[in-house]
Amino acid sequence: MTGPGRGASGERATGSPERRTSALLVLALVCLYALLVLAPLVPGVHPTVGSVIVTVLFTLGALAAASLAARLTLGPWVELGALLLGILNWFVYAIIGTSGPLARLTATPAADVLLVFAMIMGGLLLSRIVRERSLIIPVAIVLALADVFTVFFGPTGAALEQVPNVVQAVSVKLPAMGSATGPAGIAGLSHIATLGPGDTFFAALLFACVVRFGLNLARTFWWLLGVTAVGLGVIVALPQAPAVPVLPLIGAAFLVANWRDVTLTGREWTYVAIVIVFVVALFAAMRYVVQAAL
């Protein structure tokens, strides 16, 4: 009689924090949507100050959503289903957002938030391949190098120069604060920067590894927020700033936050060096192929 009762109580005890975390995740995503919709409607803010505020608040919301999702006990099929559902709805709302100024103000931010959600689910799903704590460092380094290559030397950099509209369509667009309050109204809505989908994907992957291997989630979150928000804030505050990869900022912040808890032996560092050399050589070959194709 008492055994089943205790079991049910245990389920309620574990279910309640899970529900709270889920509710906070939804709240973080709703706040991101509200930020993207309302920021263009706020008048009287200096453009530079407004750009920094939007960037920092969006970074806070996206990282909060990623860290909250990492705390949920989801199965791989749930993560895959959420990833596919998020991408499908992102596509639908992105199409709706092209139908007019009002849709651009309301539907496009919904598409961007759905893209953030989908990438978070994708990051959680891919994190399952990291089975040992020692693998986190090489994964972080390789993904950061990949981002540097794609932005400066690879397809992303080429796409930014030749088809910037395509890059913008598959990126999260940060609106200029007050840009919809001018004489043109909401038709004057403009954006200050775009963030690639890989940024929240990478953050979610790292947060999932932090939770899985019992690292300090709070410390990791604040390091990622501080480094990334400051880096992006400086970039958007500088006129004519070039596209800068965000993953190296996230990776560096993660390594600083966890360098005492994630250690490698001398042999493992040798393996990491070999992987880095291989990845750099692979990226160089890919750059040659891309340049030849263009």
- Which range of residues forms the domain containing residue 179? 27-293
The number of distinct structural domains making up the chain is 1
Task: Tally Cβ neighbours within 10 Å of residue 266.
Answer: 6
Long-range contacts of 48-52 (CB under 8 A, 24+ apart): 48/237, 50/176, 50/177, 50/178, 51/174, 51/176, 51/177, 51/192, 51/193, 51/236, 51/237, 52/233, 52/236, 52/237
Is 197 within a domain?
A: yes
Is 11 within a domain?
A: no
Is 3 within a domain?
A: no
Long-range contacts of 88-95 (CB under 8 A, 24+ apart): 89/114, 90/114, 90/115, 90/118, 94/169
Q: What is the pLDDT of residue 71?
A: 94
Is 15 within a domain?
A: no
Q: What is the pLDDT of residue 47?
A: 87
pLDDT along the chain (294 residues), means of 10: 42 68 95 95 89 93 96 93 94 91 92 94 91 79 73 54 58 89 85 83 93 92 93 82 77 87 71 69 62 56
| CB contact at 8 A, 62 and 225 | no
Q: What is the pLDDT of residue 3?
A: 41
Is 20 within a domain?
A: no
Is 122 within a domain?
A: yes
Q: What is the pLDDT of residue 5?
A: 44
Is 14 within a domain?
A: no
pTM of the model: 0.82
CA 241/CA 150 separation, integer angstroms: 17
Distances (CA, A) of 225 to 37, 177, 217, 228: 22, 21, 12, 5
Is 44 within a domain?
A: yes
Distances (CA, A) of 96 to 70, 90, 105, 109, 166: 30, 10, 11, 11, 16
